[in-house]
Amino acid sequence: MVIFESRTPRWIIILVDLFINLFALLFAYVIRFDLDRQSELIQEEWDKLSNYIWLFIAVKFLVFYSYQIHKGLVRHTSTHELNRIFFAVSTCTLVFIFFGALRFYFVDGYYFLPTSVVIVEFLASFSFIIGSRFVIKLIYLESIRNKDKVENIVIYGAGVSGLITKKTIQNDTRNNQNIICFIDDNKKLWDTRIEGKTVHGPQMLKKIHNKYNIDTVIIAIQNPKPQRRKALLDECIELNIKVQKVPDPKSWINGEFSSKQFVKAKIEDLLGREEIRLNVEEINKNLKEKTILVTGAAGSIGSGLIKQIARFNPKKVILFDQAESALYDLQWELKDTEPQLNFEIVIGDVTHHERIINLINSFQPQIVFHAAAYKHVPLMELNPSEAVKTNVLGSKHLADACDKFGVEKFIFISTDKAVNPTNVMGATKRAAEIYIQSKNTTSKTLFITTRFGNVLGSNGSVIPLFQKQIENGGPITITDERINRFFMSIPEACQLVLEAGAMGKGGEIYVFDMGESVKIIDLAKKMISLSGLTINKDIQIKITGLRPGEKLFEELLANEENTLPTHHDKILIAKTNVRGNMNDEINKLISLIDGQKNQELVLILKEIIPEYVSQNSEFEELDKI
């Protein structure tokens, strides 16, 4: 609107305020006469007031000018401006009382204004001035408000964060959002009203959606119960409602945040897994003031481990990886987020024997977390020699060096693909498990294995792939609609690794409770919905067929294995047959690496791991021999 394109001249605001005050005075007299139009009474009162009306105007002008009421931008009236106006009007009233007393005692025996008029004029002046400013503010906000389609919002959480969220939305004129109501788990709040909005129970969401066609639910609770959050997300996906979350309070500025900071719900929120309770005392005893080596430090699990280890005040952490650029990025991230952490970066390859010997000898680590590995199933199926070189030979070099130099603990990060392997990658990880477990029988070093499934958001997992495909407009590619996988978050996996490492006595293969398996196609559909898109309208799902070595269903235990419980309900010990000295078999396998004789190499793998049966692979023919 043209009226708001520039500031209104200050003299106009002064005149308007004076006119409002004169109107308030007239209003006060009307109330005094009880709306009675008796001309004699009116004339009498006017005779008393007429000679002093200039004083009324002068007082109002001087007081308002001294309080600088005219300098505030009317369209941006705030609580600060309300306080200023209140004190200005109150000061005027006190001055009128003072002048009234002077007139009564020293002039003509009449008060400047009758007592009832003083009181009503005070209330009317304050109300009319405030009202005029808010009317102008509302007109201004409406004039600049986004004219696009109104977005109906429901806020999940009627606490402090929910109220801040409501105010943030209402104060942002750039959006066109309409807050319908709150929903909250607290039954005591149901059917009450908070700042004009009704609070309902979560079970009412579908009914509310049917009535108001809800576009978005904003989760304002910082840490809702995982199962409750999952149920809410599942219902929103079913109703095709977008879900956003209030940002972490750490990113708020002076207790406030912008509506631009609302973030999309993450796929991790759909797992509904309870927060892990760690044995902090035991982990602290295991890691505090220790020199710790992490291989594969720049990877998803390696970097996640380092961030968790930093909480326990290690003496020093050695970051070992061959990925130079990723290490460089990690270095600056740690300096920013973990400034207290004493760490050193070493670039190298676990397959280089002399480099590993020098690494362990130079830093003398007490704890080693071995996360370096090749893990992409289809790529390793095409490159078996490289899979064996890194996953088996690299693990052997590191385990032997730890044994030689008396490292206290060696924690090996394995995978569920090592269970009844159907591909080269899983088979090489199982071979490394076998060698490391056998090494424990003759070494003072405690060799411990941890085994878990897919990690949400890790490099090369389906989540980043699906996100990229959604950003590119699709399609999302899935190899088979029947595929199921186990998932957990990176922090959860890393915390369980630390817990297992602390409790391990050597020789164990720890298996993590991964919860219920998830159908990949369902995961893809939920990711599309969480992105605010529609399946087969905005994004298509394309079935491409199983890749070489790919399983339909992952397992955490081999056929002959069973489990024993531990003190942690999410960590179990897999009971396996520990083999004796494996040097001859492993050395025979390693001897074929340089010749890159893939058929012979995979055949030896199958001899070492009888349960290794290839699927959808060129190596299936070897199972018939």
Question: Which residues does residue 291 pair with via DSSP β-bridges, in sequence order?
Answer: 316
H or E element, residue 478: strand 476-478
Q: How many other CB atoms are found less than 10 A from the CB of residue 560?
A: 10
Residues 6 or more apart whose Cβ sits within 8 Å of residue 459 = 299, 300
Cis peptide preceding 9, ω within 30 of 0: no
Q: Which amino acid is at 89?
A: V
Residues 6 or more apart whose Cβ sits within 8 Å of residue 270 = 230, 233, 234, 523, 526
H or E element, residue 454: strand 454-456
Rounded Cα–Cα distance for residues 176 and 450 (Å)? 50
DSSP string covering 258-307: -GGG-EEPPGGGGS-PPPP---HHHHHHHHTT-EEEEETTTSHHHHHHHH
Residues 6 or more apart whose Cβ sits within 8 Å of residue 278 = 495, 498, 499
- Beta carbons of 181 and 166 less than 8 angstroms apart: no
Please return the burial class of 81, using the count of CB atoms within 10 Å of its CB with bins 0-12, 13-18 and 19+. Answer: middle
Question: Which residues does residue 151 pair with via DSSP β-bridges, in sequence order?
Answer: 177
- Beta carbons of 556 and 487 less than 8 angstroms apart: no
Residues 6 or more apart whose Cβ sits within 8 Å of residue 25 = 56, 117, 121
Respond yes or no: is residue 389 known to be catalytic.
no
Of 223, 226, 202, 206, the C-alpha closest to 214 is 206
Structural tokens at position 375: 């893990």
Q: Read off φ and ψ for residue 446, nearest 5 degrees.
A: -90, 115
Rounded Cα–Cα distance for residues 116 and 114 (Å)? 6
H or E element, residue 170: helix 160-171
H helices of 177-261, where?
A: 205-212, 226-238
Q: Read off φ and ψ for residue 467, nearest 5 degrees.
A: -60, -45
- 60, 166, 417, 429: the catalytic one is 417
Rounded Cα–Cα distance for residues 520 and 335 (Å)? 37
Q: What is the CA radius of gyration of the chain?
A: 37
Residues 6 or more apart whose Cβ sits within 8 Å of residue 572 = 510, 511, 512, 513, 563, 564, 565, 566
H or E element, residue 317: strand 316-321
Question: Which residues does residue 415 pair with via DSSP β-bridges, in sequence order?
Answer: 452
Known catalytic residues are 417
